[in-house]
Structure 1
Amino acid sequence: MLAYYQRDHQAQDPPDLCFPPYYTTGPEIPRIARRVMKISSECAPCVYLQLMRTLDHQKIPDQRAIQAEIMTVLGAQWETLDNPGIALNMMYKIANENTGADDAYVEDKRRVNRLADRYWNDHPIALSDIPARVLYAAAGNIIDAGLGMPPDEISQQVEQAIAEGMARDDSAQFLNQVPKRGTILYITDNAGEIIFDRELMRSLQYNEWRIHVLVRHQPFLNDVTRDDIGSLHLEEVCDEILDLGDDFALWRVDFHDTRSFGQRYDGFIIKGIANLEILSHRRLPAPALFVYRAKCPPSSRLAGVQWNGNVAWLQD
């Protein structure tokens, strides 16, 4: 279940979320004629690359047995998987069960958070300039903790991504659909980019929207977890912080049948490719803006942009 906290960290009753049993395709999520990020041939090497990176970070000397188990499980279900996010979830769960690892990316995440914080301090944006802060949040999705890239090179990548501007920006349309003083659930993604997310949240809060933030509870690749947020000062820019409990990702959450989410939130800002993979399949009960860097062909096709473009896509 989602763990639900207010600023003072007093536990409250969690939102009424529905967690259906594990599925590939089935009755939990009806097929709907709209654009979603589908699993495709490009997804297989990406999943395997993430597996190799994860096992390398967990310092597993002989990875073949774990690789074999994961490839066998994924291979048996690949044709029926609902979206690529489920494949990553399965991969990471099996890897952690076999290694007993905690957060293999913790030092890398701290490093890129510090780097992004310095970049923001050197390149601040006016508090009232929401479009520019959306651009920073989308471009920041290029940061990938754990690749061992030198800090200067990461900064250059971020600067180049920002200089490219937005390939697609539906953020104004999204905000026009969210009532003033309404509540936005901001679903976070990776370390590093969370600094730019924080500053976008700050601008939204300044413009009188209420912000709730959703993070992972337990480690999932280089995503932000509850253990990470103490040094990020997210409490300055949001009204409540939630986490995903024992779920690695969001694939078990069925928003379609969850009326309470529609009652609680007036809009969703959803960061990153993994969340796009999973939540583009959900019929969310309020306007949803997906903010990401189109780092793979399926994500660029979804938004109708060139590969590696900065995107703020309002769900159909």
Structure 2
Amino acid sequence: MKLCLDCIVCFQKQALFATKDLDDELRSRILKKVMFFLYNADWKTSSDEFANEVHRIIREVSGLSDPYKEIKKRSNEISLKMYPVLKKLLDRESSGNRLYTAAKIAIAGNIIDFGPSNEFDLESTIDEVMSKDLTINNFKSLEEKVVSSESMLYFADNAGEIVFDKIFIEEMLRTRNKPFEQISFVVKSGPIINDAMLEDAYEVGLDRLPNIRFLEISNGEKNSASSRRSDEVRRYIEEHDIVISKGQGNFEGLSDFHNIFFMLMAKCNVIAKELGVDIRSSVIKYKE
């Protein structure tokens, strides 16, 4: 997905939020360097590549290896406290509706995002998503793939949100009544915004799911893992029976690929316009 002009302003807001606890002089230097990059960069580059560079600059100039570390830890803790409540919500559903409800729970968790906005109400978002139909609803195709597939590739988005993903995957296993031969769960190889990393996946207990392995994609640092748009990631997609992409960032980076279910909440005008939906719409979109 190509960069949109609205993204330029969003990246500057991200730089301000990521450095909110630093002194004004250092914040000014970081913001100027980010603005210098934005001014000189090729605006035909993809938005996820821009994000990688903006947050690399923030880490480099601030000296903070992970500016969102405490936010991610707190997001995981809050979501884990909600886990039993959400499981009870599922238990109130009839057998035929459980997987659909679990999918909506996973989408509701996508609101835990400090990229497009740093203000959200998790509990009210869950209520909102549960009370409305999906705006783009390819759930039936997803359900069929869940039942028939032997391998799954799951691109995670944010810390905290991955607890909601865990509930969804657990419900997939219940629906199938057998494990996948392999679940490949994709996280970031290093810090960028509040994106989930390997340590977050272990912190919320995803490693206890049957036949799961973890793959890493790059946060933009040199000599890190492969980027979302790499041939290696394309190979991952081709090798798995079902592929699920969570969130806006993965949609931006993977929208050129095929055989992917995109699950997200549209949280900004750019993504909403690209999908042809209103802001705060919940989406399961299959790209064949």
The TM tier, using the shorter chain, reads 0.7 to 0.9
- Residue 259 of structure 1 deviates from its aligned partner by 6.8
Give the equivalent residue in structure 1 for 2:141. 173
Q: Note if contact 1:70-1:94 (Cα within 8 Å) is conserved in structure 2.
A: yes
Give the equivalent residue in structure 2 for 1:77. 41
Matched letter for residue 116 of structure 1: S
- Alpha-carbon separation, structure 2, partners of 1:217 and 1:257: 15
- Residue 178 of structure 1 deviates from its aligned partner by 6.2
Q: Note if contact 2:109-2:126 (Cα within 8 Å) is conserved in structure 1.
A: yes
- Alpha-carbon separation, structure 1, partners of 2:234 and 2:156: 22
Among 270, 276, 279, which residue is 1:298 paired with? 270
- Residue 311 of structure 1 deviates from its aligned partner by 0.9
- Alpha-carbon separation, structure 2, partners of 1:229 and 1:60: 32
Matched letter for residue 242 of structure 1: L
Distance 1:263 1:269, change over 3 A: closer
- Confirm whether residue 68 of structure 1 aligns to residue 32 of structure 2: yes
Distance 1:227 1:61, change over 3 A: farther
Give the equivalent residue in structure 2 for 1:136. 105
Q: Note if contact 1:191-1:222 (Cα within 8 Å) is conserved in structure 2.
A: yes
Structure 1 stretches lacking a partner, 5+ long: 1-36
- Alpha-carbon separation, structure 2, partners of 1:288 and 1:218: 24
TM-score by length of 2: 0.83
- Residue 263 of structure 1 deviates from its aligned partner by 5.1
Give the equivalent residue in structure 2 for 1:185. 153
Matched letter for residue 52 of structure 1: L
- Alpha-carbon separation, structure 1, partners of 2:156 and 2:83: 18
Structure 2 stretches lacking a partner, 5+ long: none
- Residue 169 of structure 1 deviates from its aligned partner by 2.0
- Alpha-carbon separation, structure 2, partners of 1:216 and 1:114: 19
- Residue 192 of structure 1 deviates from its aligned partner by 1.9
- Alpha-carbon separation, structure 1, partners of 2:105 and 2:50: 29
Query: Per chain length, whose mean CA-contact separation is higher, i.e. which structure has more relative contact order (CA < 8 Å, sep 6+)?
Result: 1
Q: Note if contact 1:217-1:245 (Cα within 8 Å) is conserved in structure 2.
A: yes
- Alpha-carbon separation, structure 1, partners of 2:82 and 2:192: 25
**How high is the sequence identity, in percent, across the aligned residues?**
23
Q: Say which is worse superposed, 243-252 or 206-215, in terms of deviation.
A: 243-252
Q: How does 1:241-252 map to 2 (within 5 A)?
A: 241-244=214-217, 247=220, 252=227
Q: Note if contact 2:218-2:227 (Cα within 8 Å) is conserved in structure 1.
A: no
Distance 1:111 1:178, change over 3 A: closer
Q: Note if contact 2:52-2:219 (Cα within 8 Å) is conserved in structure 1.
A: no
Matched letter for residue 157 of structure 1: T
Give the equivalent residue in structure 1 for 2:247. 272
What secondary structure is seen at the aligned counterpart in 2 of 1:80?
coil
Q: Note if contact 2:110-2:264 (Cα within 8 Å) is conserved in structure 1.
A: yes
- Confirm whether residue 51 of structure 1 aligns to residue 15 of structure 2: yes
Among 38, 51, 57, which residue is 1:88 paired with? 51
Distance 1:190 1:313, change over 3 A: same
- Confirm whether residue 237 of structure 1 aligns to residue 209 of structure 2: yes
Distance 1:97 1:187, change over 3 A: same
Superposition CA RMSD, Å:
2.8
Say which structure is richer in helix: 2
Give the equivalent residue in structure 2 for 1:199. 167
